Amino acid sequence: MKKQLPPSVHSFPAPAILISCGTIDKPNIITCAWFGTVNSEPPMISVSIRKERFSYPLVHNIGEFTANIPRISELELVKVCGTKSGRDVNKFSDLGITPVACPPLESAPMIDECSLVLGCKVKHELELGTHCVFIAEVVSIHCDPDRARPSGRPSPNPEDQVVYLDGNYWNLSRI
C-alpha cells in the first residue's frame, strides 16, 4: 500500500534558467526553476515569479524578459542569481557579465555570456497564490554558432543543461 503525502511539486526536476529583466542601463537577473513550454504556435513559455521578488515588477511593468539557458560552466551565475537580490546588488557588474540588447525586445537585455537566449514578450499574467505565472511569446532566439543546428533550431545540449531538484542542481545525461 502506498503512503499518502502532502501535496507538493518539489520532487520534480525543473530547468534552472536565468531570467533577465529591466533595461540595459538597469538590468536584473533572477534564477527561476519554474519554467516550461506551454504552446508551440506561436511558441510560448511560462515562468513563475513571486510578487515580492525584485524582478516581479520589472517583468510585470515592462512586459518582456529574456530566458537565458545556462550551461553547467555557468552554474555559479545560477547560484548567485538565485541567492542575491537585485535590490541589494547589481548582479551584472558584481559577476562581470554583460547585458546586451535582445532584438526585437525594446528593454529587457540578454546575458551575453549565455549561449542560448529566448527573447520573450508577456501575453498573460496569472496570480496563483505564492507565485505569478507569466505566459510569454518567444519572439526571438539568440544562440552561439555551436548551438545552431542546420534545421534552424537551437541544439538543446541536454548533458550541459542545469536542472533544479529538491534543493540541489543537477545536469542531464542520456540514458
> Which set of grid coordinates corresponds to residue 174?
542520456
Q: Is 4 domain-assigned? A: no
Q: How far apart are CA 143 and CA 114, in angstroms?
A: 8
Q: Does 8 fall in a domain?
A: no
- Please tell me the total count of domains within the chain: 1
> For residue 88, is it within any domain?
yes
* 150 located within any domain: yes
pLDDT tens by residue, the chain, 175 residues: 999 988 887 777 889 999 999 999 999 999 999 999 999 999 999 999 999 999 999 999 999 999 999 999 999 999 999 989 989 999 999 999 999 999 999 999 999 999 999 999 999 999 999 999 999 999 999 999 988 898 988 887 888 889 998 888 988 877 6
- Residue 106: partners with Cβ closer than 8 Å, 6 or more residues away: 64
- Which residues constitute the domain of residue 94? 14-171
Backbone angles phi, psi at 118, to 5 degrees: -105, 125
Here the CATH number for the domain that contains residue 137 is 2.30.110.10
Residue 141 lies inside a defined structural domain of this protein: yes
